[in-house]
Amino acid sequence: MKKVYTRTGDKGTTGIHGGARVPKDDIRIEANGCLDELNAVIGIVRSMLPAEDNWQELLHTIQRELMVVMSHVATPDGVLNPNLLSAAELTVRCEQEMDAMTAGLKENGYFLLPGGTPVSAQLHFARTVARRAERRLWTLHRQAPLNEDILRFVNRLSDLFFVMARTEMQRQDWPEEKWQEFAYKRKRL
Sequential pLDDT tens for the chain (189 residues): 888 888 888 888 888 888 788 878 899 999 999 999 999 999 999 999 999 999 999 999 999 999 999 999 999 888 888 889 999 999 999 999 999 999 998 877 667 777 899 999 999 999 999 999 999 999 999 999 999 999 999 999 999 999 999 999 999 898 877 766 666 555 555
Asked if 87 and 71 touch (Cβ cutoff 8 Å), the reply is no
pLDDT for position 187: 55
Measured in degrees and rounded to the nearest 5, phi and psi for residue 179 equal -100, -65
- Please state the domain extents for the chain: 22-76+92-188
SS (H, E, C) the chain: CCCCCCCCCCCCEEECCCCCEEECCCHHHHHHHHHHHHHHHHHHHHHHCCCCCCHHHHHHHHHHHHHHHHHHHCCCCCCCCCCCCCHHHHHHHHHHHHHHHHHCCCCCCEEECCCCCHHHHHHHHHHHHHHHHHHHHHHHHHHCCCCHHHHHHHHHHHHHHHHHHHHHHHHCCCCCCEEEECHHHHHHC
Distance CA 162, CA 34 (A): 18
pLDDT for position 174: 81
CATH of 22-76+92-188 given 1.10.3090.10, 1.20.1200.10, 1.10.1660.10, 3.40.640.10: 1.20.1200.10
pLDDT for position 8: 80
pLDDT for position 183: 67
pTM of the model: 0.89
pLDDT for position 141: 97
pLDDT for position 27: 95
Asked if 79 and 96 touch (Cβ cutoff 8 Å), the reply is no
* Inter-CA distances, 154 with 126, 137, 162, Å: 11, 9, 13
Asked if 93 and 155 touch (Cβ cutoff 8 Å), the reply is no
Distance CA 7, CA 159 (A): 39
Distance CA 187, CA 129 (A): 32
Rg (CA), the chain: 19
